[in-house]
Structure 1
Amino acid sequence: MAVVNHPAPPVITTTEELAEFCAGAHKAPYITVDTEFLRENTFWPQLCLIQAATPTDARIIDPLAPDIDLTPLAAVLANHSVLKVFHAARQDIEIFLRLCGSIPEPLFDTQVAAMVLGFGESVSYETLVTKIARAELDKSSRFTDWSRRPLSDRQLHYALADVTHLRVVYEYLAGQLDKTGRSGWLDQEMSVLMDPRTYLVEPDEAWTRLRTRSGNRRFLGLVKALAAWRELEAQSRDLPRGRILKDDAILEIAAHPPKNPEDFRNLRSVPRGVVEGKLGPALLAAVQRGLDMPEDDLPKPEKVDEAPRGVGPLVELLKVLLKMKCEDHDVAQKLIAGTSDLERIAASDTADVPALNGWRREVFGEAALALKHGRLALASDGKRIRVIPVQRSAPPQK
C-alpha cells in the first residue's frame, strides 16, 4: 500500500495573512483555540505556536515569525459574538491574559463541559477525541521543542489536530448540554476561569503556595517576606521560582534566620552562589523584613477544620450517596464535592461548600441534608444501593 503524504497545514507568518484569517473568524459562531508553549526555563510561558479553527477554516499561527503582529487575533478573542473554545483552558488563558491584557470571552472549556456531562474527572482531550470524534491522535510529537524552526510536517499536523477535532468535540458537548438542560451548570463553572485573579499571583500571597503546617506566626512572616521577594525576582528576571530559590531553602531560612552573610553557610539548602552573588544582599534584606514585620501583619496559621467526633460513619454514608447521585446524573464527583466538603456538611447544615449551592444543591446537596436528618435512607436490594424516602411519624399528641 502506498504511503500518502498529506501536505503541510498552512502556517500564518505575517500580519497580513493573520488579518485575512481573522476577518473570517469574526463572522464565525465559534473558534477553537490551542497553544504550544515552553516554560521549563522561564517564569512566564514562552508562546511558540497558536492553533485556531473556525467551523470552515483551520490555521497555525507562528508567533515567533519576525513579520507578525498578533493584534488581529487579539481582536477576535475580545469579540463577544464569537465563542472561544478551549480544552483545559487554564494555561492557555494565562498566556492570552498576559499577551492581550484580557481574558478571551465568552469561553467554553470542553474539559469542564465533559465533566458536567459525566465523562469523568479531568478527562483528557485524547479521550474525548476517541469517544466523540472517533479519531486517533498522533502522539509522536507530544514532547516537541516548539521553539525550534522549521517545524516538520508531522509536528504541524499534530498541532492542527488539537483544534480541528476540537470542533467536533465542542459541537457534540454543546448539543448535549442543551439537551440535558445543563448549559447553566457550565456557565457557573466558567466563572472561575473568567476571573483574572485565578491567574495572577500577588507577591504578598506567594507564601500560600508553600507547604508548611507551622503555627509560629513569626516563622510564617519570614516565609511570607522571602516568598514575596522570590516572586518579584522570578517575574522581573523571567526565571522559574526554583531557579531563584527553592522552597526548601525558604523554609530553612525562615526556621533559622541568618543575621549576616556568614550565617548562610550553616544552611544546607541555600546555594553558596545565591548568597555570594548579586542576590545575596537582597535576600538578607528580605529576611530582615520578615524579622521586622509588625505583629499585626504576621500571617495567621491556616485553620484546619477537624470533623467533629462521631461524624465519620455519616461521612461514609454521604460518600455512597454522592457516588449514586453522580452516577444517576452522569456528572463527575470531583465537580460536586470532596471528602472535606462532606465532613463540613456532616458538621453543619449551612457549611460554606459548593455542594450546598446552585445546581450542585439540586443534584446532591438537598439529598445530603435529607440523609443527614433521617428523611432518606440507603438500602440494598441485593444488586445495588437504593435511596428510600423515610416517612417520619408525627410525635404522639398529649
Structure 2
Amino acid sequence: MAAPHSPHSLVPHRLRVLAGHEAFAGSLLILVAALAIALANSPLAHGYHALFHAPLPWTPIAKLGTLHLWINDALMAVFFFVVGLEVKREIVAGQLADARQRRLPVLAAFAGMAIPAAVYAGLAGGDPVLIHGWAIPAATDIAFALGVLALVGPRVPAPLRLFLLTVAIVDDIGAVLIIAVFFTGSLKLGWLVIALCLLAVMLALGRARVSHAGPYALAALAMWYCVLHSGMHATIAGVVAALAIPMAGPKPALLERLEHALSGWNTYLIVPLFGFANAGVALAGIGLVGLLSPLPLAIACGLVIGKQMGIFVAIWVADRIGFARRPAGASWAQIWGVAILCGIGFTMSLFIAALAFPDYPLLVEEAKLGILGGSLVSAVLGYAVLRFAPAPQANAR
C-alpha cells in the first residue's frame, strides 16, 4: 500500500481527508464563533475579555504580555507554518507544480482578492482610516469553506472540490504577502539579519539532507523570536520557516511528516482557539444602523459580492477565451456556488482586521461584524446554490 503522503497520492489523500474531517472542522469553527459572541454579550463578558486581554502575571517574552498576544503572535505562527508546508507541497508536487493546472486557480484567486478589495475601497475608501482595512475581505477561510462543501456531499464533483482547495491555497499565499508587505512596521535590521542567518542555517540543513525535525524546530523557533522583535509580524516567520523544510530524502519526506503531525493541532486547537479569542463582539446597542455603517458594510459586500464576482467572472472568461478550462464535470451553477463559498473569510480576515486597525479597537469590533455577517451569508447562500444546482449536461461547455 502506498504511503499516505507519497508524491503520487498527495491529491487523492488530501481529498479523502477533506471528505472525512472538514465538515466537523467547519462545524467546530461555527461553534466557537457562536460561543464567543454569546459570552461577549452575556454577564460573563468582562471575564471573557479579561481572559484574553488582561496582562499576564508572568510571561517569558515581554512583547507577549497577554493571552491574546500569545495566540495571535505565537500559536498563529504555527498555523502559518502549516500553511507554508501545504503551499510548498503543492508547488513542488501538487496542483501548483504544473503550469497548465495552476493557471485557473491562480487567476481566480487573484481576481478573488482584487475585486473584494475594490468593492471595499468603493464603499469605505473615502475615510483615510478605514482604507487600511482594504485587505480584510480578500481572504478565504479554507476550513469553513471546505466544511460547508463537505456538508453538500458527493453532489459536488471532485475536480471542483480540488479547485476550491487550490484557490484557497493561492489565496493564503496572497494573504501572507499582503501581511508581509503592507502590515510591517519600522524594521530593526539587527534582528532581521539574525533571522535571515537562521533561515540560511535551515536551508543548509536541508542541503545536507538532515531529516530529523529537531534542528529545524530549534532554528525556526529562534527565527520566530527574532522576527517578533524585528518589526515584521511574527507569523511571517512561520511561512518562511516552512519553505525551508525539505521534501527530498527518505519517504515520507520531513515536510510531509510535519504537515501530517501538525495539521490536526492546527485544525482542532489553534484555529478554534484563535476564533474563540477573536470572534467575540458585543452586539448591544448596535442595531441595523451599526450593521450598515461603512466598515462592516464594506467588508460584508466585499466578501459576499466581490469574492463571487471576481472568481466566477475569472473562470468564465478564462474558459471562454481558452486560457484555461473550467473544472471537469462541474456545471456553471456549481462553479457559482463554490465562488460564493470563497466569501467565507473567518480566520484570515479576523487576523488582518486586527493588523489593519491596531490603534482603533472599536473599528476592530465593527470589522468583526462585517466578517461574521459576510461569512454567514456566503456560507448559507453557497450551500443553497450547491445543494440545488443541477448536474452539468453531457455536452455543456
Give the TM-score category using the shorter length.
under 0.3
Report the TM-score, using the length of structure 2 for normalisation: 0.25
Higher relative contact order by CA 8 Å / sep ≥ 6: 1 or 2? 2
